[in-house]
Amino acid sequence: MVVRRRPQRGHRYTESPVLELALQGWRSRTVGLLLMAALLALIIRAFYLQVINNDFLQEKGDSRYRRDIEVSASRGKIVDRHGDMLAVSTPMQSIWAIPADARTMTAEQKRQLAGLLEMGVRELDGKIAADKTFVYVRRQVSPETGARIAALKLPGIHQEKEYRRFYPTADMTAHIVGFTGVDDKGLEGVELAFQQSLLGRPGNRTVIRDRRGNIIEDVGAMRPPQDGKDIRLALDSKIQYLAYSQLKATVDTYKAKAGGVIVVDTRNGEILALVNWPTYNPNNRQNLSGAPLRNRAITDTFEPGSVMKPFIAALALEQGKVTVNTPINTAPGRMTIGSATISDPRPHGLLTVAEVIQKSSNIGTAKIALGFTPKEMWELFDKLGFGQAPNLGFPGEVNGRLRPWKTWRPIEQATMSYGHGIAVSLIQLARAYTVFANDGELMPLSLLSVDETPVHGGRVFSPQTVRESRLMLEMAVQPGGTAPRARVAGYRVGGKTGTAHKIEGGVYAHKYIASFVGIAPISDPRLVIAVMIDEPSTGVHYGGDVAGPAFSRIAAGALRTLGVPLDAPLQMAAVGTGKEPL
Amino acid sequence: MLRFNMTLLLVLVVCALALVTSQHRARKLFQELEREQERARQLDVEYGQLQLEMSTWATHPRIEKIARERLRMVQPDVAGRPIVAVAQPAGGR
């Protein structure tokens, strides 16, 4: 046993008995080669995964736990000058389905879902029968209903947060505020005009989610959501309500087709109220079309009639052609210019310039107007803003119609002086009257509240002319004037009536537009109120009878709301019937 | 040398465990933050809804209706209005 002699030491490699076995050399080389090949394959694979395919795999990995989520932003609110809500967004749930999955619902589940959505099972079946991968089952259900549907854990039924717009003041402010479509896009009014600032910009963030769907970490950059800006209008919802309820009452009383009221603050041109009739409820627009949608005060023009007369008289005063006491012979109440004859509804005889305005004589005004060149008169109208859109940023503003003076014939110059042959919108009229309510400057109007006071505009008349014109306007609401019913207890007011025939198919029809544009109080004007009633059809159609009383009640309420000090004794015969709004 | 290596290994293991724990705690806290933020959003939404509800209750037509019908309020008679001569602040309500 030679081998056993040194068992602890082991034997040296070269002495290993295994080596003495003679193996063919190719076998070990083959194994070595195979191992090398396997190693090479692993290296190539690793290179392929780590370098060439890295992005793809990284993405696959991320998609297991990383999520990009959108953070929604809400649309800005619209509020009135006191901060009262006019339009506000609140989140609702939209229920959508993957039809293929949703069809696996049991009949019982379908019944439950249909019940919660207040729809028939058949209607629900119809929606999920669609051959699509995404279908809305019902949009904008209340968050409570959404939570109850989520609790049912129905297959293929999902939810999504959406904002819905609410208008608490509903039809009262419908035209000025407008409304949005289902996807938060402004479609009318301020909602459309200020779409860019109202719109919120949704943010997004990248997060890591765990198995249960909880967010456990923010990774990467996040973009915070930007909520839309709130819009503060100049509107005073109390005055708006006053104007709305009076307009509605007046339209009802005189069975008129339509109407509009605009109240403007003369110190800075803020629009305190703007209402139209007919109107609509912006919260429920299912069968809405045509007439009620029109914002007539801004988008419709009409021949204004006699409300234009004070401007003509004021221009004559301004040029020194007449004084308020210059007599003008309006007898016999008819006048022929060229081949056309114009007339007064009732002949007046000899009137002063002030009385021409007070009694609204067409002949008197035409005689004054024919003393101007067409260019002078056109420039007057142009400076007053007729023929130019009021630039409120409102959708659908119109320019009105004022033809270039070179095409005027004398008869047209005469009729234009009392408001025929020229078309204006109610808002243009209200704006033009601001010249009488301050020192003779045309005030730019504003939908938004204006911080600075006073605002200045382009000068049209001198302060002296304006003072005299205001007294003429005041005479019109006094006994002997055309609008004694426009008076307001406790305040001196002034204004001018308009009763214009409507044109239908190019000829004047026996349909009227009654209007009244007034200023209150006369001693220190604060408000211009324009009232227009389209087609009063109870037999009464004079501006002083139809629009005058509405002006009186709106002015009384608005002046009191604004806390304007009285400038006349209260002892006037009470127009109040207990019907004015509180 | 070996002892030194063992110490380093121990430190490494302790560090690794600390990292795991703090990461876990960070996630827990983050979840809590997330929950609170969600609650803040919820409250914000609720605030909006309440504001909406308030302005719906406070619409002028409703106030006038209640004043006239339920409370039987009337506009004071013109003759019965005493006029107090003070310089009133302009505007406001």
**Residue A524 burial (CB count, 10 A):** 13
At A71, which helix (H) or strand (E)?
Answer: strand A66-71
Whether residue B82 has pLDDT greater than 90? no
pLDDT in tens, A103-141: 888 888 888 888 888 888 888 888 888 788 888 888 888
Digit-coded pLDDT (tens) for A494-550? 999 999 888 877 778 888 999 999 998 999 999 999 999 999 988 888 888 999 999
What six digits make up the tokens of A328?
């003008």
Q: Are A172 and B45 within 8 A, CB to CB?
A: no
Check if the interface score ipTM surpasses 0.85: no
Q: Find the mean pLDDT for residues B65-92.
A: 73
Distance CA A267, CA A345 (A): 37
Q: Closest Cα partner for A468 from A318, A332, A340, A334?
A: A318
Decide: residue A259, CB within 10 A, 0-12 exposed, 13-18 middle, 19+ buried.
Answer: buried
Q: Do B31 and A85 touch (CB under 8 A)?
A: no
Q: What is the pLDDT of residue A578?
A: 41
Cα–Cα distance list, A290 to A193, A285, A295, A301, A536 (Å): 20, 12, 11, 17, 21
Cα–Cα distance for residue pair A278/A171, rounded to 1 Å: 9
Chain A nearest-CA residue for B46: A90
Contact A162, A139 (CB under 8 A): yes
Predicted confidence (pLDDT) per residue in A384-431, tens digit: 999 888 888 887 888 888 888 888 888 888 889 998 889 999 999 999
What's residue A11's pLDDT?
67
CB A250 within 8 A of CB A549: yes
A142 belongs to the catalytic site = no
pTM of the model: 0.81
Which residues in A lie closer than 8 A to residue B43 (C-beta atoms)? none
Taking the CA of residue B16 and the nearest CA in chain A, the distance in Å comes to 20
pLDDT for B89 equals: 53
The pLDDT value given to residue A204? 87
Set of chain B residues whose Cβ sits within 8 Å of the Cβ of A91: 45
Nearest-angstrom CA–CA distance, A244 and A273: 9
- Asked if B45 and A563 come within 8 Å (Cβ–Cβ), the reply is no
B19 lies within 8 A of chain A by CB: no
Split at pLDDT 50, 70, 90, the class of B91 is very low
Q: Which amino acid is at A277?
A: W
Please give the backbone phi and psi of residue A487, each rounded to the nearest 5 degrees, phi first: -65, 155
pLDDT digits (tens, 9 = 90+) for A18-41: 667 777 788 889 999 999 999 999
B64 part of contact set with chain A, CB < 8 Å:
yes
Question: Which range has the worst mean pLDDT, A290-299, A524-533, A554-563?
Answer: A290-299
Partner residue opposite B59 with nearest CB, options A89, A168, A216? A168
Q: Does A568 touch chain B (CB under 8 A)?
A: no
Read off the amino acid at residue A333: G
Chain-centre distance of CA B70, in angstroms?
A: 35
What is the CA A427 to chain-centroid distance, rounded?
Answer: 15
Cβ partners under 8 Å of residue A574, min gap 6: A489, B77, B78, B79
For residue A576, the chain B residues in CB contact (below 8 A) are 75, 77-78
User: What does A388-423 look like in DSSP terms, one character per residue?
Assistant: S---S--TT----B---GGG--HHHHHHHHTT-S-B
Angle, in degrees to the nearest 10, between helices A463-476 and A309-318: 140
Question: Closest by alpha carbon to A266, among A389, A385, A400, A439?
Answer: A439
A428, amino acid identity: Q
Residue with token string 């854990």 = A153
The tokens describing A290, both together, are 């045509």
* Residue from A242, A307, A229, A304 nearest A272 by CA: A242
